[in-house]
Amino acid sequence: MEHDMSSGKPARLLFFFMLPILGGNLFQQFYSMVDTFVVGRYVGVDALAAVGATGSMTFLILGFVVGLTAGFSVIISQKFGAKDPSSMRKAVAMSILSACFLSIVVSTIAILTARPLLLMLKTPHNIIDDSLSYLLIIYTGIVATIYYNLLAAILRALGDSRSPLYFLLIASALNIAGDLIAVVNLGMGVKGVALATVLSQTISALLCLLYIYKRYPSLHLSKQDWNIEWPMISRLLRIGLPSALQFSVCAIGVMIVQSVINQSGSNTVAAYSVGVRIEQLVTQPLVTLGLAMATFSAQNLGSGHLERVREGVRSAVLLCILFSAIALALIFLFGRQLALLFIDQSEQQVIGQTVQYLHTISYFFIPLGLIFVFRNTSQGLGSGLIPMLSSIQELIFRALVALTLPPVLGYVGICLSSPIAWMAAALLLLVAYKLQYRRISCLLKQ
């Protein structure tokens, strides 16, 4: 169902809007963790390291997809907030056409550069073949991934955060079943895990498409809607591409860190990959809070209620502090137990490094949460440049730390690369948001 966020208490709206998204993201993280569990338990540490070594490369491409579709949805959300259904349908149609073209381009480039990038990242020779097999299957299925994310983003732009959750739950259950069949029963190893992931994304995309067609007559597109409108495409790309590049720039920083880790051997690669999985799980409330702010700020800007954006930001910052404290407590209370879900008890070095990573980063969850709040708010207010600049800054700091601290501090230096980058990016985004808000406020008064 559609949900107007231009009236009501911001804190309540944000919290209840983000809950279904959080449920979907947690379940998505859960089935990603099942991938890790199945590979780690049924194939071995080397296979676990092989999948883990692809993390930065999949983030490079899939982050581009997520950023692109999130950027497109900002325009759709603004048109919805402005009560302009004709322009909203045109934005949806041009988003679909743009996504089709870009998915072909991105998939082709990703497949052609997969092996050279693995070599450039100094992926250990004993795992590089499995890493490549995993990547090629994932990259082949990018078209399904981009359309699922686009359709889910369209639903969220209309204030419907529940429906994507239901489709994701079904697809996730199928993904878990596919993992177990492909790896445990058929012995397909990492290829089976990748194939199950692609099939689940395809099912999610199809279910979203059918639901939108049946439940949202306002989104039934006419032949006229499909006529190419270059100004609309230009506007979509002006928001979508910087948003996509923002994720890709962050991913380059992660790839630099990954190249440093890869030189430390497969045990360290496995520990880091498991640590990142757990980090992604406990910080999902921060991620979904940011997504909620993108829709909230875009709808309120479209309806001319800019002052509500500031109220929403204040509420989001308080929620960010609360969620960060809960995540910190979870890490220190259950960090080792979470690591043991993926790693055999006998692998004490891997377990120790995983817990060390989690303890190091958990003190810095508040800056990470502020990044999601202010980056998505700026995007919802129509800026693609501010999020991209913050990502470039994040890249620079992450690369500098990864290349300079490990020789002095060892593994701790690697663990600190993300937290230091988070603090720098959060500060930039805070200042940029205040300037952006002031500029838009002055324009609306004219």
Whether residue 31 has pLDDT greater than 80: no
Whether residue 370 has pLDDT greater than 80: yes
Measured CA to CA, the distance from residue 304 to residue 369 in angstroms comes to 27
Residue type, 86: S
pLDDT (tens digit, 9 = 90+) per residue, 89-104? 998 899 889 888 888 9
CA nearest to 269, candidates 137, 365, 125 = 125
Over residues 352-366, the mean pLDDT reads 94
Which DSSP state fits 229? -
Looking from the CA of 200 toward its CB, the CA atoms found within 13 Å total: 25
Give residue 34's pLDDT: 73
Sign (positive or negative) of CA dihedral 164, 169, 170, 175: positive
Over residues 179-202, the mean pLDDT reads 86
Question: Band of the pLDDT at 420, cuts 50, 70, 90?
Answer: very high
pLDDT (tens digit, 9 = 90+) per residue, 128-151? 999 999 999 999 998 888 888 888
Measured CA to CA, the distance from residue 330 to residue 418 in angstroms comes to 19
pLDDT (tens digit, 9 = 90+) per residue, 208-262? 889 988 888 888 888 888 998 898 888 888 888 887 887 777 778 778 887 888 8
Over residues 195-208, the mean pLDDT reads 87
Q: Is there a contact between 431 and 386 (Cβ–Cβ < 8 Å)?
A: no
Measured CA to CA, the distance from residue 40 to residue 38 in angstroms comes to 6
Alpha helices (H) in 263-384, listed in sequence order: 266-282, 284-302, 306-340, 348-362, 365-380
Give residue 283's pLDDT: 93
Q: Is there a contact between 169 and 230 (Cβ–Cβ < 8 Å)?
A: no
The domain ranges of the chain are: 10-445
Give residue 360's pLDDT: 94
Sign (positive or negative) of CA dihedral 276, 280, 286, 291: positive
Give residue 249's pLDDT: 79
Helix (H) or strand (E) holding 446: none
Question: Band of the pLDDT at 333, cuts 50, 70, 90?
Answer: very high
